[in-house]
């Protein structure tokens, strides 16, 4: 590409709303331009990078045996009514009306459409397993679109959906996709981790997220120092504590804590460590309020709470008025002693091991000291209820847990028969009997990967693309091209020669001074820079610099070309 004929539009100033480095650099490099909140144009430069990602994703999906199709982005309301998601999907679903007042949505995902396709196309187990994928624009009306294309409203996703006659076949394809994702992110040159993920409201059995590791990541993940255990913080199990509860020794007494509501305040006031206190919260169960107890130094994990049999599938804190009505105190003074007999008391495993502990007295301005389970407070059930903390032993017993930040770039999960069931997608099995198909689904945030890669690869001068994602591999910078025919001719010759080797080369023939020309090349992150000047040509040398290295190398033509063999 001759840059004089390209549209390179780097800028110095970054809009104030760009918070993270990838957003800033994408704007400065002129890769994206904002049209509306969470809606961006990909400039020619940005698109070159996006296409590189897309190509690798497509190649690896094809290699894995998946077959590409393209589904519409506009989807009819009736289909979403069939799965119940027209209502359930929530505010992220952009609903549209056509001129006949018929309802549609702009697809945020394609389970409905692909399952509709499958119920018409697939008749026999002999057509299975099959994995359909597409690379297509999605729209999700995110509450807080931010960080540029990292969390956009319109974005590019690769989504794949596999169909199976049984669970074994689904598990095998899930493994195949897991391995394929590992290959894709490795080829892209990213530092990533596959983590055991919570399936949340989607349901299903196995689920993994692929996270690019970066401090700016929105997701907290935990991993073990001693094994390959890694999980989404929401899903991470705490290791079951060993040991038994000590016998009660203290007598129960009420203490005044007129203004002390938080565990920190209470523990400081009474001189008792937080891990010797019990923290109790009340949440809305399916059938009245539920008390959840964890140790004072721990936090309730809302995902674990939502999964309790007493809960309606989500964990919502009771409001102050509800708490006052149920137990007669403000939220800072709740405790497990003397709760209404029909209120379930769910206790975390570590909390259940405490004896002689401190907790709220269910009366304003009061706490209890010397409290003991069973003797003073009833336990309905002991479960894993808390968030893991750094330094916890890993659940597999190997090593301790550390936290890291991640950017979710891919997600695989076993959906099971949920959508096939709702839409009546069956095939005849080998006995001639109609069987509901099992499904897996596998997403990759193609556009998000571009931002995630920049988060991992940048310096003061700009982007440092992993080779596989760079808009061009090489940039040729001729010095004083307008004045020197020799420079011009050699620049052209080298440009043609490298191009003929299948290398993507940018020739910076815009006639810029060296400073701005180099600054652009560094900002947009081209891995290899070749400078051609009269002085070098006279000596038969070229100035070469690898992006990210501090020094130029003076190379002969042969040495230079050998870099690209």
Which residues from 41-60 bind ligand ATP, rule CB under 6 A? none
C-alpha to C-alpha distance for 553 and 565, rounded to whole angstroms: 18
Nearer to ligand ATP, 410 or 533 (CB): 410
> If binding is defined by CB under 6 A, does position 198 make contact with ligand ATP?
no
Write down the least CB distance from residue 348 to ligand ATP, Å. Answer: 26
Q: Which one of Mg ion, ligand ATP, none is in contact with 445 (Cβ closer than 5 to 8 A by kind)?
A: ligand ATP
For residue 178, give the 3-state DSSP assignment.
Answer: helix
Q: Which of 1, 152, 170, 221 binds ligand ATP (CB under 6 A)?
A: 152
Q: Which of 140, 279, 295, 545 binds ligand ATP (CB under 6 A)?
A: 140
DSSP state letter for 333: G
C-alpha to C-alpha distance for 135 and 60, rounded to whole angstroms: 13
> If binding is defined by CB under 5 A, does position 208 make contact with Mg ion?
no
> If binding is defined by CB under 6 A, does position 547 make contact with ligand ATP?
no
The region of 95-103, 114-122, 393-401, 445-453 touching ligand ATP under the rule CB under 6 A is: 445-453
**Enclosing H/E stretch for 511:** none
Q: Which has the closest alpha carbon to 223: 199, 205, 196?
A: 196
Nearer to Mg ion, 411 or 528 (CB): 411
> If binding is defined by CB under 6 A, does position 448 make contact with ligand ATP?
yes
CB atoms within 10 A of CB 536: 17
Residue pair 223/230 in contact (Cβ under 8 Å)? The answer is yes
C-alpha to C-alpha distance for 407 and 454, rounded to whole angstroms: 12
Write down the least CB distance from residue 219 to ligand ATP, Å. Answer: 7
Q: Which one of Mg ion, ligand ATP, none is in contact with 185 (Cβ closer than 5 to 8 A by kind)?
A: none
C-alpha to C-alpha distance for 425 and 130, rounded to whole angstroms: 14
| String of contacts with Mg ion for each residue 397-436, x by CB under 5 A | --------------x-------------------------
Nearer to ligand ATP, 23 or 448 (CB): 448
> If binding is defined by CB under 6 A, does position 408 make contact with ligand ATP?
yes
Q: Which of 217, 445, 471, 478 binds ligand ATP (CB under 6 A)?
A: 445
Write down the least CB distance from residue 423 to Mg ion, Å. Answer: 22
Q: Which one of Mg ion, ligand ATP, none is in contact with 24 (Cβ closer than 5 to 8 A by kind)?
A: none
Nearer to Mg ion, 28 or 411 (CB): 411
Nearest residue to the partner ligand ATP, using Cβ = 445
Q: Which has the closest alpha carbon to 498: 522, 528, 524?
A: 528
C-alpha to C-alpha distance for 93 and 109, rounded to whole angstroms: 10
Q: Which of 6, 155, 185, 542 binds ligand ATP (CB under 6 A)?
A: 155
Q: Which has the closest alpha carbon to 429: 124, 209, 1, 15?
A: 124
C-alpha to C-alpha distance for 36 and 153, rounded to whole angstroms: 10
C-alpha to C-alpha distance for 54 and 43, rounded to whole angstroms: 16
Write down the least CB distance from residue 217 to ligand ATP, Å. Answer: 10
Cis status, amide bond into 129, omega within 30 of 0? yes
Nearer to Mg ion, 235 or 411 (CB): 411
> If binding is defined by CB under 6 A, does position 160 make contact with ligand ATP?
no
Q: Which has the closest alpha carbon to 358: 409, 418, 295?
A: 295
Q: Which of 82, 142, 166, 384 binds ligand ATP (CB under 6 A)?
A: 142
- Give 216's contacts (C-beta < 8 A, 6+ positions apart): 20, 21, 22, 147, 405, 407, 455
Q: Which of 3, 277, 345, 409 binds ligand ATP (CB under 6 A)?
A: 409
The region of 256-264, 297-305, 403-411, 544-552 touching ligand ATP under the rule CB under 6 A is: 403-411
Backbone dihedral angles phi then psi of residue 266, each to the nearest 5 degrees: -65, -45
Nearer to ligand ATP, 176 or 267 (CB): 176
Write down the least CB distance from residue 39 to ligand ATP, Å. Answer: 11
| String of contacts with ligand ATP for each residue 73-112, x by CB under 6 A | ------------------------------------x---
**If 0-12 CB within 10 Å is exposed, 13-18 middle and 19+ buried, where does residue 297 land?**
middle
Residue pair 504/564 in contact (Cβ under 8 Å)? The answer is no
Write down the least CB distance from residue 135 to ligand ATP, Å. Answer: 12
Nearer to Mg ion, 129 or 410 (CB): 410
For residue 505, give the 3-state DSSP assignment.
Answer: strand
Total residues in contact with ligand ATP, by rule CB under 6 A: 15
Q: Which one of Mg ion, ligand ATP, none is in contact with 257 (Cβ closer than 5 to 8 A by kind)?
A: none
- Give 23's contacts (C-beta < 8 A, 6+ positions apart): 147, 148, 150, 451
Residue pair 174/197 in contact (Cβ under 8 Å)? The answer is no
> If binding is defined by CB under 6 A, does position 157 make contact with ligand ATP?
yes
Q: Which of 296, 443, 471, 527 binds ligand ATP (CB under 6 A)?
A: 443
Write down the least CB distance from residue 411 to Mg ion, Å. Answer: 4
Q: Which one of Mg ion, ligand ATP, none is in contact with 157 (Cβ closer than 5 to 8 A by kind)?
A: ligand ATP
C-alpha to C-alpha distance for 246 and 353, rounded to whole angstroms: 7
Write down the least CB distance from residue 22 to Mg ion, Å. Answer: 19
Kindly calculate the radius of gyration of the chain based on its CA atoms and give it in whole angstroms.
Answer: 30
CB atoms within 10 A of CB 300: 21
**In Å, how far are 291, 415, 427, 507, 513 from 474, measured between CA atoms?**
62, 44, 52, 9, 19
For residue 4, give the 3-state DSSP assignment.
Answer: helix
Chain-centroid distance, C-alpha 62: 24
Point out which residues bind Mg ion (CB under 5 A).
411
Point out which residues bind ligand ATP (CB under 6 A).
109, 140, 142, 151-152, 155, 157, 408-411, 443, 445, 447-448
């Amino acid at each position: 590409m001759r840059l004089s004929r390209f549209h390179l539009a780097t800028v110095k100033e970054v809009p104030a709303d760009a918070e993270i480095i990838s957003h800033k650099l994408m704007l400065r490099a002129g890769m994206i331009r904002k049209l509306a909140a969470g809606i961006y144009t990909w400039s020619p430069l940005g698109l070159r990078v996006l296409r590189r990602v897309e190509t690798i994703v497509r190649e690896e999906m094809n290699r894995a045996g998946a077959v590409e199709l393209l589904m519409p982005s506009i989807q009819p309301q009736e289909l979403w009514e069939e799965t119940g998601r027209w209502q359930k999907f929530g505010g992220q679903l952009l609903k549209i009306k056509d001129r006949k007042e018929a309802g549609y949505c702009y697809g945020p995902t394609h389970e409905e459409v692909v399952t509709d396709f499958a119920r018409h196309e697939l008749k026999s187990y002999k057509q299975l397993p099959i994995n359909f994928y597409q690379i297509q624009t999605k729209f999700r009306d995110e509450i807080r679109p931010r960080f540029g294309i990292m969390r956009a409203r319109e974005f590019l996703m690769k989504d794949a959906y596999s169909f199976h006659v049984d669970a074994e076949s689904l598990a095998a394809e899930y493994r195949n996709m897991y391995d394929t994702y590992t290959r894709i992110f490795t080829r892209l040159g990213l530092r990533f981790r596959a983590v055991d993920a919570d399936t949340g409201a989607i349901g299903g059995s196995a689920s993994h997220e692929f996270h690019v590791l970066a401090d700016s990541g929105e997701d907290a993940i935990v991993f073990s120092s001693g094994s390959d255990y890694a999980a989404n913080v929401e899903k991470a199990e705490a290791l079951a504590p060993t040991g038994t509860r000590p016998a009660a020794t203290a007598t129960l007494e009420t203490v005044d804590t007129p203004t002390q509501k938080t565990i920190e305040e209470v523990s400081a006031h009474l001189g008792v460590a937080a891990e010797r206190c019990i923290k109790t919260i009340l949440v809305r169960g399916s059938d009245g309020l539920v008390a959840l107890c964890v140790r004072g130094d721990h936090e309730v994990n809302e995902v674990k709470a939502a999964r309790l049999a007493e809960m309606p599938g989500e964990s919502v804190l009771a409001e102050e008025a509800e708490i006052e009505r149920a137990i007669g105190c403000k939220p800072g003074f709740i405790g497990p002693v003397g709760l209404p007999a029909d209120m379930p008391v769910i206790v975390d495993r570590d909390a259940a091991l405490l004896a002689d502990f401190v907790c709220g007295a269910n009366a304003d301005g009061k706490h209890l000291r010397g409290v003991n389970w069973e003797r003073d407070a009833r336990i309905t059930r002991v479960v894993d209820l808390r968030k893991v903390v750094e330094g916890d032993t890993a659940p597999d017993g190997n090593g301790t847990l550390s936290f890291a930040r991640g950017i979710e770039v891919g997600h695989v999960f076993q959906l099971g028969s949920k959508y096939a069931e709702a839409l009546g997608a069956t095939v005849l099995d080998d006995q001639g009997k109609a069987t509901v198909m099992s499904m897996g689904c596998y997403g990759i945030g193609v556009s998000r990967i571009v931002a995630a890669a920049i988060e991992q690869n940048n310096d003061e001068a700009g982007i440092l693309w992993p080779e596989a994602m760079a808009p061009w591999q090489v940039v040729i910078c001729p010095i004083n091209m307008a004045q020197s025919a020799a420079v011009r001719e050699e620049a052209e010759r080298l440009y043609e020669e490298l191009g003929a080797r299948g290398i993507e080369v940018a020739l910076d023939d815009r006639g810029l001074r060296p400073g701005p020309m180099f600054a652009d090349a560094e900002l947009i992150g081209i891995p290899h820079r070749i400078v051609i000047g009269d002085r070098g040509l006279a000596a038969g040398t070229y100035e070469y610099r690898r992006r990210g290295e501090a020094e130029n190398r003076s190379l002969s033509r042969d040495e230079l070309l050998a870099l690209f063999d």
